[in-house]
């Protein structure tokens, strides 16, 4: 056996133990890093072919593995934008250059522009579902994803266009109580409702209702004391009070009332009142209206459900589902390539990325107000550190012994 081989084998062992100490130190340093995945050093022998009477010492080589698929414990927080994946999925994030990565580090907060970013500055990606849009998921890639921005979820002004009315018109007790066509001077019942113009200003509409004949009513709408001329065929509504009709609007009656409402800048916006649900029964007057449109409103807070739907809660109480967080996975997560910032990129060994939504395809669910801790066990790491230290010392002894024997051989000539 070559003495040089003994020394080289010792050096190989020391290098291997140094690699193990490197992964141990990295793990200990990141024991409190959110979403960090433990690294470990695995040893394998490198054997050299030897003759029948001689043994040629080989070496040891190391392979670093990452326990990416092992989930850490969960800690709960008070921030709704702190997120954890309960399952096999990864968050899809993007760096400043537009490159996409996978991560389990879900400590997201809005930056100065409203983008949700984690501690390493990576932006959270998702699908736009504003106004009822369906997520356009590309299963084998990152197409259709965009940065989730909470500032974009602020509510813009929208002009009112329609009111859906549920009302009961109390009939007059006698013919003597019948009145002329409805207006501020003549009405049986009167109510008001608030609409919004094109820049979000509230516009109050006064609704006057007058019973002009048996089972017949006239309805007029005023704004600021001025009549809003109807654009429909009639303002007369008739009711069917027979046993079959039960006080609902007659089949031949007008069912809606349309008119133009003055708006900012001297323009108008069309408005329709759906009155098809009105009744005339022996009960008190009741008028309920659901009006679309809104005034502008800022985002007060953000809620995220277990499906990853990001909902903006506005200061006026409106809730707007705006984004849905994307989750992704690969066939072999433990072979993902670790990158700077506690993120991972796919490679040939890990397999291609599959993108989807929480709760689908085994991707798991999203927990808001929680973070996934590092999966490092400090006690195990300290034990491994002692093992690596002792292993390094032992290999240094074999190196030193080989060096001492080489000195003996060199000194044989003396």
pLDDT at position 153: 76
pLDDT at position 163: 95
Low-confidence ranges of the chain (pLDDT < 70): 1, 50-53, 155, 176, 414
Three-state secondary structure readout of the chain = CCHHHHHHHHHHHHHHHHHHHHHHHHHHHCCCCCCCCCEEEEEEEECCCCCCCCCCCCEEEEEEEECCCCCCCEEECCCCCEEEEECCCEEEEECCCCCEEEECCCECEECCCCEEECCCCCEEEEEECHHHCCCCCCCCCCCCCEECECHHHCECCECCCEEEEEEECCCCCCHHHCCCCCECCECCEEEEEEEECCCCCEEEEEEEEEEEECCEEEEEEEECCEECCECCCCCEEEEECCCCCCCEECCCCCCEEEEEEECHHHCEEEEEEECCCCECCCCCCEEEEEECCECCECEEEEEECCCCEEEEEECCCCEEEEEEEEEEECCCHHHCEEECCCEEECCCCCCCCEEEECCCCCCCEEEECEEECCCCCHHHHHHHHHHHHHHHHHHHHHHHHHHHHHHHHHHHHC
What is the model's pTM? 0.69
What is the overall mean pLDDT for the chain?
Answer: 89
Q: Where are the domains of the chain?
A: 3-69+375-413, 74-155+298-372, 162-291
Angle between helices 378-410 and 3-29 (to 10 degrees): 160
Check: CB of residue 306 under 8 Å from CB of residue 282.
no
Q: In the CATH scheme, what architecture does the domain 162-291 have? A: Sandwich (2.60)
pLDDT at position 150: 87
pLDDT at position 13: 87
Check: CB of residue 147 under 8 Å from CB of residue 113.
no
Query: Distances from the Cα of 359 to the Cαs of 108, 189, 236, 335, 362, in angstroms?
Result: 21, 52, 53, 24, 7
pLDDT at position 85: 94
pLDDT at position 253: 93
Q: Which of 358, 354, 363, 360 is nearest to 139 (CA)?
A: 354
pLDDT at position 198: 83
């Amino acid at each position: 056996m070559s003495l040089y081989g003994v020394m080289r084998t010792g050096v190989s062992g020391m290098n291997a133990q140094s690699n193990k100490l490197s992964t141990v130190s990295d793990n200990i340093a990141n024991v409190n890093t959110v979403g960090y995945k433990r690294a470990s050093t695995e040893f394998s022998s490198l054997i050299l072919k030897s003759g029948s009477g001689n043994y040629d010492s080989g070496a040891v080589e190391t392979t670093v593995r990452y326990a990416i698929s092992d989930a850490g414990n969960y800690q709960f927080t008070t921030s709704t934008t702190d997120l954890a994946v309960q399952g096999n999925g990864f968050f899809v994030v993007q760096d400043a250059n537009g490159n996409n990565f996978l991560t389990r580090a879900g400590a997201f907060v809005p930056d100065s522009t409203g983008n949700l970013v984690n501690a390493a500055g990576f932006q959270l990606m998702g699908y736009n579902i504003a106004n009822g849009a369906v997520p356009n998921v590309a299963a084998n890639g990152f197409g259709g994803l965009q940065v989730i921005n909470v500032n974009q979820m602020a509510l813009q002004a929208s002009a009112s266009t329609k009111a859906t009315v549920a009302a009961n018109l109390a009939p007059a007790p006698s013919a003597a109580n019948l009145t002329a066509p409805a207006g501020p001077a003549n009405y049986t019942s009167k109510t008001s409702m608030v609409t919004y113009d094109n820049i979000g200003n509230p516009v109050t509409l006064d609704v006057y209702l007058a019973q002009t004949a048996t089972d017949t009513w006239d309805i007029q709408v005023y704004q600021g004391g001025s009549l809003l001329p109807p654009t429909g065929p009639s303002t007369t509504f008739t009711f069917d009070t027979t046993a079959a009709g039960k006080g609902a609007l007659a089949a031949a009656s007008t069912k809606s009332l349309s008119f133009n409402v003055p708006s900012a800048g001297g323009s108008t916006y069309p408005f329709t009142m759906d009155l098809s649900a009105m009744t005339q029964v022996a009960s008190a007057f009741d008028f309920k209206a659901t009006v679309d449109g809104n005034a502008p409103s800022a985002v007060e807070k953000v809620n995220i459900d277990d499906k990853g739907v990001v909902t903006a809660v506005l200061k006026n109480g409106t809730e707007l589902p705006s984004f849905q967080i994307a989750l992704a996975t690969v066939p072999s997560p433990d072979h993902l390539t670790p990158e700077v910032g506690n993120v991972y990129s796919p490679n040939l060994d890990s397999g291609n990325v599959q993108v989807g939504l929480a709760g689908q395809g085994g991707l798991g669910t999203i927990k808001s107000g929680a973070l996934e801790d590092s999966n490092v066990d400090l006690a195990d790491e300290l034990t491994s550190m002692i093992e690596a230290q002792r292993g390094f010392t032992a290999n240094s002894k074999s190196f030193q012994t080989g060096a001492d024997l080489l000195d003996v051989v060199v000194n044989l000539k003396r």
